[in-house]
Structure 1
Amino acid sequence: MPVGSRSPDQHDNRTMTLEAFADTIVPGEKRSPDDRAVAGASSGGGAVQAGAIELLETPATGLSDALDDYEQALNRHARAYAAEHGLRLDESVPPFVALPFEDRTSLVRTLTGPDHQERELWVLLALFSNMAFDTAAHLHTTDAIAAGHPGLVAMGFMKPDDDGLWRFPDFSYGRQLADPHPDTTPSGSPA
């Protein structure tokens, strides 16, 4: 195998591990009864269903080349956590995936805690997991809404008008906060 290439098993392990991390940040329901990465700690779609892996693999994040390292480090931390807490891990899945949800949460809390030396790395991964759910950053907003993106649906993100533009007939604060600039065009663009 060429240097830098990954076997299908390595890719599956990375995907499962990163999905389990994303699911710990924004939990969702299992995609199938045998889903091991998604713990099923919440109903509805979470970060995984919202496309966290797709977002992480987007080169624009700056993380795509480091995902193998994230997977290896997270699984090292999971093995150490399991040993420290006397947990026996199922070896048919990556160590982080094998942790029960409560233990995944505890480990992630430690990794993102203010005193952890790798905190910035894990907070960054958590932020992208949130971003996939909160904004569908890897998708065009109208496409995400049309597909029923779980995060945008959960937040009640308003659909665009039939012409694909968003217009807001009601003020979000219940009142107008400022008058439009006098040079604003009829489409709402500044002149």
Structure 2
Amino acid sequence: MTGPDRRSILKALVTTLAGLSVGGLETPAAAAVDASDASESWTTQTLEAFADTLIPGQRRFPGDVAVAGAVAGPGAVQAGAVGLLHSPELPVAPLLPAIAALLDARAVAYAALRLIWLPPTLPPFVGLPFSDRTALVGGLFDPDDPDRPIWQVLSLLVGLAFDTAGQQDTVEALGQGHPGLTWLHFPEPDPDGMWRFPDFSYGRQLAALHPNTTASGSPA
């Protein structure tokens, strides 16, 4: 691949993942992708199509080509996965064109081997039918694929955006009706914004609470 090497891309993706895991993104608005801004560039369209292949959703507007509309309900794109990646606060943002170009190159090779016509006005990956997008993405995770670590970490980021609203404070995300958390019926916190679980996972208490445990549940 040309441009940034695989090591640089993977390092940026892992750093982004680590930053999100400790709440490193402080601007929830950066994760939202407005329909009027969607598909404004080939990079964005390609990343949207990749995210939609992993966690499909319904089309956002008539003529939406990046989101295939394979299912009803929200998917990764509606949950802000691509907006999260584009956030200028994250180190992966400058490398997204290289990542998208790599995926589009794989789409060209896939289509050529199968004699699939790709519309010249769309990024190659976006031009693939959904079934072929799925087949191509599945192959990206083959153990022998040299770019496999890139797609693995990118997929983790897409999943975090949908499953946990990792780019936002969880309480705020629920209050704003985050598509992923709402679809998954993520439980609401207690009135003070904390989550408590009164029922023991194993049906019984396995250990006594340490006497110096703080009111927030943290160890002494």
**TM-score, length basis structure 2:** 0.76
Alignment of 1:86 onto 2:83: no
User: What per-residue deviation string (whole Å, max 9, x for no partner) do you get for residues 130-171 of structure 1?
Assistant: 111111111111111112222222333211122222222333
Which deviates more, 153-162 or 19-28? 153-162
Per the alignment, do residues 173 and 146 of structure 1 end up closer, same or farther by CA in structure 2, a change over 3 Å counting?
A: farther
The one of 127, 148, 151 equivalent to 2:177 is 148
Contact conserved, 1:135 with 1:152, CA < 8 A, in 2? yes
User: What per-residue deviation string (whole Å, max 9, x for no partner) do you get for residues 68-112 of structure 1?
Assistant: 101111111111111111111112211111100110011111112
Contact conserved, 1:58 with 1:138, CA < 8 A, in 2? no
Cα distance between partner residues in 1 of 2:141 and 2:90: 19
Cα distance between partner residues in 2 of 1:90 and 1:185: 60
What pairs up with 1:8-157 in 2 under 5 angstroms?
12-58=41-87, 62-157=91-186
Which residue of 2 is the match for residue 180 of structure 1? 209
Which residue of 1 is the match for residue 19 of structure 2? none
3-state SS of 1:70 partner: helix
User: What per-residue deviation string (whole Å, max 9, x for no partner) do you get for residues 35-60 of structure 1?
Assistant: 11111112211111111112212356
Larger relative contact order (C-alpha < 8 A, sep ≥ 6)?
2
**TM-score, length basis structure 1:** 0.86
Cα distance between partner residues in 2 of 1:35 and 1:74: 20
Cα distance between partner residues in 2 of 1:48 and 1:175: 41
Cα distance between partner residues in 1 of 2:60 and 2:202: 37
Which deviates more, 135-144 or 160-169? 160-169
Per the alignment, do residues 158 and 67 of structure 1 end up closer, same or farther by CA in structure 2, a change over 3 Å counting?
A: same
3-state SS of 2:41 partner: helix
* Residues matched between the structures, number: 183
The percent of aligned pairs where both chains have the same amino acid is 52
How far 1:61 sits from its partner (Å)? 5.0
Cα distance between partner residues in 2 of 1:26 and 1:177: 37
- Aligned-partner residue type, residue 155 of structure 1: L
